[in-house]
Structure 1
Amino acid sequence: MDYNEKLKHERFRASTAPKKTFDEEMESDRGRSINSAAVRRLQQKTQVFPLESNAAVRSRLTHSLEVQQVGRYIAKLVLKQLDNDGKLRELGLEDKKDGFTSAIEIACLLHDVGNPAFGHFGEEAINMWSGTSLLNIFTEKFGDEVRESKLLKDLLCFEGNAQAIRLLHSLQDLNLSFTQVACLIKYTRPAYEQRPSGKTEPYKYRKKKPGYYYSEEEYVKKLQSSLGIESGNRFPLTYIMEAADDISYCIADLDDALDKGILDVDQLHQAIVSIWESYLDDDEVDNEVVEKRYLPNLAQKAYARYESESHNKNHSYILTLRTNLVNDLANYASERYISNHESVFNGTLDESLLDGNDEYNLATEVLKGVAFKYVFSAKEVERSELQGHAIISGLLDIYTPLLRLDYENFKSLSKSEFLKTFPIETRLYHLLSNKHKRYYCDSVKRLHDAAVATDEDKIIEMYYRSRLLIDYVSGMTDRFSFEEYRSLLAID
């Protein structure tokens, strides 16, 4: 294993201000990322509670900052252990420690930039609209045989992780290093590829969701070639980014639920204990692991702290629980990284660093179970999700007339920004982001310049036209999408 093969400063385009070392190039990526609009928009995107006015409740940005800190901690633990084992020089990491840590930190900061407004329910809204309205438009224009087109299959699978790669490379053109972007490719199949179905599939975990779109496929192939990543495999640092995210969100949603009064400490404490004990009846979990009562014991320490405090009692409970849990899980993730080092380095480990039939993995599963049962199913959350679904699908419906235009009319509209006989479509086109429209025009320039467009050309154009609308709506913040929806429906 030689990290010099993985930690490189190559970019899609040569940098106009190249740096001397890998560590310096990672500092450049840090600056490009932190100053990007993609990161700024995270402050007004939902973690769990949409359109939340309480600044103490997490947004995507505050969640990402927490993930960044956990990722930094795990990276430091990994490097410390490798140093203690005398392996840093052998692995080519001796002069890349700062860049190793920085790449993970920035990946953690960027990991949610592709998520739409209103969280995962926003993703569902886009996919539901694509599976009905968009599918119907494609079949009306090109016949039922278009259902087998990989371009249409690609469009029918919106995924925040894949959208992040598209946003950073294609739409915002940050020209980050291949190493930095590789850290973000959590899943390793294109969106048009079918998800592995068999339990024994070798890529079942790594390909359970789309990792990138057809539109970025050539870019991803170039990245993989540069970093020596075999098709279907991951980049090693991705495992740390993923673990940091899993560690952060398994407790964060419960913290926010306490803050909003959806749960009180007694309810949360009892839920942790009861769901943990329910695994005694689970044939897939080792009873010895359950009987260790790792998480209930941590919760009991937190509850004792809660009872001893006279002020800010809720904070004392969650702080004690979170501090101990994050420390234990970060150490566990770093140990798993090193104990599976070769498969992690090659990207063939087909599970997360937090997987395993032990108390730490069970702790994350229990906390997710508590959140699912008591937080995500709360009326306030479900009402907000339904509101978000109405807004996202409603906006896509409003812009759908642009997709119904035939090839020549939309070509004229994109070139002149005006169609006299289509006043509604003209005004809708004017509302789209100029940056997104420029990227669409660049993507189809070859088609528009051709004397005659073939049916295949028209399908490709419709692919990028559809992406134009999805890019615009998915990039909106919660507040902007809400205001845009009300404005276009003329609601006071």
Structure 2
Amino acid sequence: MNYNQKLKTIRARSSSIQGRCFNEEMESDRGRAINSAAVRRLQQKTQVFPLETNAAVRSRLTHSLEVQQVGRYISKTVLKKLAQQEQLENLGLAENIDGFVSAIEVACLLHDIGNPAFGHFGEEAINLWGNKTLTEVFKTNFSDEPDYNKLVKDLSNFEGNAQAIRLLHNLQSLNLTYTQLACLLKYTRGAYEDKPKKKDTFYYRKKKPGFYFSEQKLFEDIQKELSIKDGCRFPLTYIMEAADDISYCIADLDDAVDKGILTVDQLHNEISKTWNNFKEDPDVKSDVVEGGYLLKIAKKAYKNYLNEDHNKEHAYILTLRTTLVNDLSKYAAKRFIDNHEQIFHGELDESLLDGSDEYNLATETFRKIAVNNVFNHREVENLELKGFAVISGLLNIYTPLVELTYNKFKDLVEDNTLKSHPIETRLYHKLSSKHKGRYKEDIKEIFSNGSPSNNDKMMELYARTRLLIDYISGMTDQFALEEFQNLTAIK
């Protein structure tokens, strides 16, 4: 194993400053990321509770900052263990320690930037629109083209992780290093590919789309430059993923308590009940359940809760969070070291928190509690349905733009008006100039062709549809709601 094969300074476009080492290039990536509009928008995007006005409840930004800190802790723990084993020099890490940590931190900060307004229900709205409306439009015009099904499937599989890669590279044009982008490639399947079966070797790494057809070449270039085999991950991605899993396993319940959806007594009872229910699960080792790892932590937290005079809920949650973040981070670091060969080559087909031990069971306990008591709460479900209606409504409002013929849309783009279609003209004017610029770059060669083929026209419609999805998915929760109200005259 030699991390010099993985930690490289290569970018898609040459940097204006030459001769910097890997650590310096990672600092450059950090600056590009933190100053990007995509990161700023996270402060007004949903974590669990859409349109939340209580600043204490997590947004995507505050969640990402927490993930960043956990990722830093895990990465430093990994490096410390490798140093104790006197492996840093042999692995090519001795001179790249700062860059190693920074790459993981920035990946943690950026991991959610591709998520649409209203979270998973925003994704669901986009994909249903793709399966219904887009399928019909493409079928009507391009069903004889070889790539017709591939493009429709790609457009109907919106995924926040894939959108993040597109956003960073093609929309924001941050020109991050391939190493930094590789850290974010949590999944290694194109959105146009079929989902694998559970028995498949790459099931975990391909269970969701990791990139779109529009970024296929970028993905292949990253694979080639960083010596990543087909279907395999980048090693640092495992740490970013673990940091995310650790952060949200307790954060969702913390927010639920803060909003009064769960009381401390209810949460405490749910922890005990859910943990003990694993005794009936044949896939869980009985001695792990009997060990009562999480129950002991909860008992200590409840004691602190009873002894606290003022901020009692905080005392309970703080004990849970600090203990679990510390234990789970060390566990993730240990798993990284124990499976280092597989992880270096990206072949480990599970997360660092997987397994049948007490740490994995703790995260599963919190996940089940959140599903059963938070995500299905009336307030949350009502907000999700509201978000679904908003995103679906916006997509339907902008659908006339994808229904225009190739020639008419070309006229609209080139003249910035289409007298015969005043609605489409005004909808086009509302689109972001940045997104329109990306579209024009993508179809430049097609528009310059005086006699485009039917396949060319199909590729133009693909780029046009990406334009709409990029624009709507990039909205914040509040802006999406206001835009929907504005366009429908509903207040």
Superposed CA offset, 1:297-329 (max 9, x none): 111110110011011000000000000000000
Q: Give the secondary-structure state (helix, strand or coil) at the position aligned to 2:236.
A: helix
Q: Distance in 2 between matches of 1:16 and 1:390?
A: 45
How far has the Cα of 1:147 moved from its partner? 8.5
How far has the Cα of 1:19 moved from its partner? 4.7
Q: Distance in 1 between matches of 2:434 and 2:393?
A: 23
Is residue 138–residue 148 contact of structure 2 (8 Å, CA) maintained in 1?
no
Aligned residue for 1:162?
162
Q: Give the secondary-structure state (helix, strand or coil) at the position aligned to 2:253.
A: helix
Aligned residue for 1:488?
487
Q: Distance in 1 between matches of 2:144 and 2:42?
A: 39
Is residue 146–residue 152 contact of structure 1 (8 Å, CA) maintained in 2?
no
Matched AA of 2:356: N
Aligned residue for 1:140?
140
Is residue 147–residue 153 contact of structure 1 (8 Å, CA) maintained in 2?
no
Pair 1:124–1:144, CA change in 2 (3 A)? farther
Q: Give the secondary-structure state (helix, strand or coil) at the position aligned to 1:206.
A: helix
Q: Distance in 2 between matches of 1:48 and 1:154?
A: 27
Q: Distance in 1 between matches of 2:141 and 2:291?
A: 61
Is residue 165–residue 181 contact of structure 1 (8 Å, CA) maintained in 2?
yes
Q: Distance in 2 between matches of 1:18 and 1:127?
A: 42
Q: Give the secondary-structure state (helix, strand or coil) at the position aligned to 1:420.
A: coil
Q: Distance in 1 between matches of 2:390 and 2:241?
A: 30
Matches within 5 A, 1:217-232: 217-232=216-231
Is residue 75–residue 104 contact of structure 1 (8 Å, CA) maintained in 2?
yes
Is the deviation greater in 131-140 or in 213-222?
131-140
Q: Distance in 2 between matches of 1:77 and 1:147?
A: 47
Matches within 5 A, 1:31-110: 31-110=31-110
Q: Distance in 1 between matches of 2:353 and 2:485?
A: 43
TM-score by length of 1: 0.99
Matched AA of 1:296: L
Structure 1 position 338 matched with structure 2 position 337 = yes
Is residue 302–residue 318 contact of structure 1 (8 Å, CA) maintained in 2?
yes
Superposed CA offset, 1:133-183 (max 9, x none): 111211222248778521111111000000000000001100000000000
Aligned residue for 1:242?
241
Q: Distance in 2 between matches of 1:405 and 1:20?
A: 48
Instruction: Show structure 2 runs of 5+ residues with no match.
Output: none
How far has the Cα of 1:244 moved from its partner? 0.1
Aligned residue for 1:306?
305
Is the deviation greater in 146-155 or in 318-327?
146-155
Q: Distance in 1 between matches of 2:143 and 2:174?
A: 38
Matched AA of 1:110: L
Q: Give the secondary-structure state (helix, strand or coil) at the position aligned to 1:458.
A: helix
Aligned residue for 1:11?
11
Pair 1:406–1:88, CA change in 2 (3 A)? same
Q: Distance in 1 between matches of 2:146 and 2:293?
A: 53
Is residue 332–residue 354 contact of structure 1 (8 Å, CA) maintained in 2?
yes
Is the deviation greater in 250-259 or in 289-298?
289-298
Is residue 69–residue 105 contact of structure 1 (8 Å, CA) maintained in 2?
yes
Q: Give the secondary-structure state (helix, strand or coil) at the position aligned to 1:343.
A: helix
Structure 1 position 29 matched with structure 2 position 49 = no
Is residue 138–residue 146 contact of structure 1 (8 Å, CA) maintained in 2?
no
Pair 1:217–1:145, CA change in 2 (3 A)? closer
Structure 1 position 323 matched with structure 2 position 322 = yes
Matched AA of 1:394: G
Q: Distance in 2 between matches of 1:20 and 1:441?
A: 33
Is residue 139–residue 146 contact of structure 1 (8 Å, CA) maintained in 2?
no
Is the deviation greater in 287-296 or in 65-74?
287-296
Matched AA of 1:444: I
Superposed CA offset, 1:17-49 (max 9, x none): 235211111000000000000100000000000
Matched AA of 1:83: A
How far has the Cα of 1:413 moved from its partner? 0.8
How far has the Cα of 1:224 moved from its partner? 1.1
Q: Distance in 2 between matches of 1:81 and 1:102?
A: 18
Q: Distance in 2 between matches of 1:414 and 1:221?
A: 31
Q: Distance in 2 between matches of 1:406 and 1:456?
A: 14
Matched AA of 2:415: S
Aligned residue for 1:434?
433
Q: Distance in 2 between matches of 1:23 and 1:3?
A: 13
Matched AA of 2:101: T
Aligned residue for 1:111?
111
How far has the Cα of 1:416 moved from its partner? 1.3
Matches within 5 A, 1:442-453: 442-453=441-452
Matched AA of 1:368: R
TM-score by length of 2: 0.99
Q: Give the secondary-structure state (helix, strand or coil) at the position aligned to 1:211.
A: strand
How far has the Cα of 1:296 moved from its partner? 1.2
Is residue 302–residue 320 contact of structure 1 (8 Å, CA) maintained in 2?
yes
Q: Give the secondary-structure state (helix, strand or coil) at the position aligned to 2:210.
A: strand
Superposed CA offset, 1:364-387 (max 9, x none): 111000000000000000000000
Matched AA of 2:403: R
Q: Give the secondary-structure state (helix, strand or coil) at the position aligned to 2:48.
A: coil
Is residue 107–residue 240 contact of structure 2 (8 Å, CA) maintained in 1?
yes
Q: Distance in 2 between matches of 1:185 and 1:204?
A: 15
Is the deviation greater in 281-290 or in 134-143?
134-143
Aligned residue for 1:296?
295
Identity %: 62
Q: Distance in 1 between matches of 2:65 and 2:171?
A: 23
Q: Distance in 1 between matches of 2:418 and 2:146?
A: 28
Structure 1 position 394 matched with structure 2 position 363 = no
Q: Distance in 2 between matches of 1:146 and 1:19?
A: 45
Aligned residue for 1:258?
257
Is residue 145–residue 455 contact of structure 2 (8 Å, CA) maintained in 1?
no
Matched AA of 1:202: T
Q: Distance in 2 between matches of 1:400 and 1:144?
A: 23
Q: Distance in 1 between matches of 2:13 and 2:217?
A: 14
Q: Distance in 1 between matches of 2:102 and 2:340?
A: 20
Aligned residue for 1:274?
273
Matches within 5 A, 1:457-476: 457-476=456-475
How far has the Cα of 1:259 moved from its partner? 0.3
Q: Distance in 2 between matches of 1:127 and 1:64?
A: 25
Q: Distance in 1 between matches of 2:193 and 2:454?
A: 23
Q: Give the secondary-structure state (helix, strand or coil) at the position aligned to 1:149.
A: helix
Aligned residue for 1:178?
178
Pair 1:240–1:307, CA change in 2 (3 A)? same
Q: Distance in 2 between matches of 1:403 and 1:258?
A: 44
Matched AA of 1:295: L
Is residue 130–residue 152 contact of structure 2 (8 Å, CA) maintained in 1?
no
Poorly superposed stretches of 4+, deviation over 3 Å: 143-148
Aligned residue for 1:410?
409
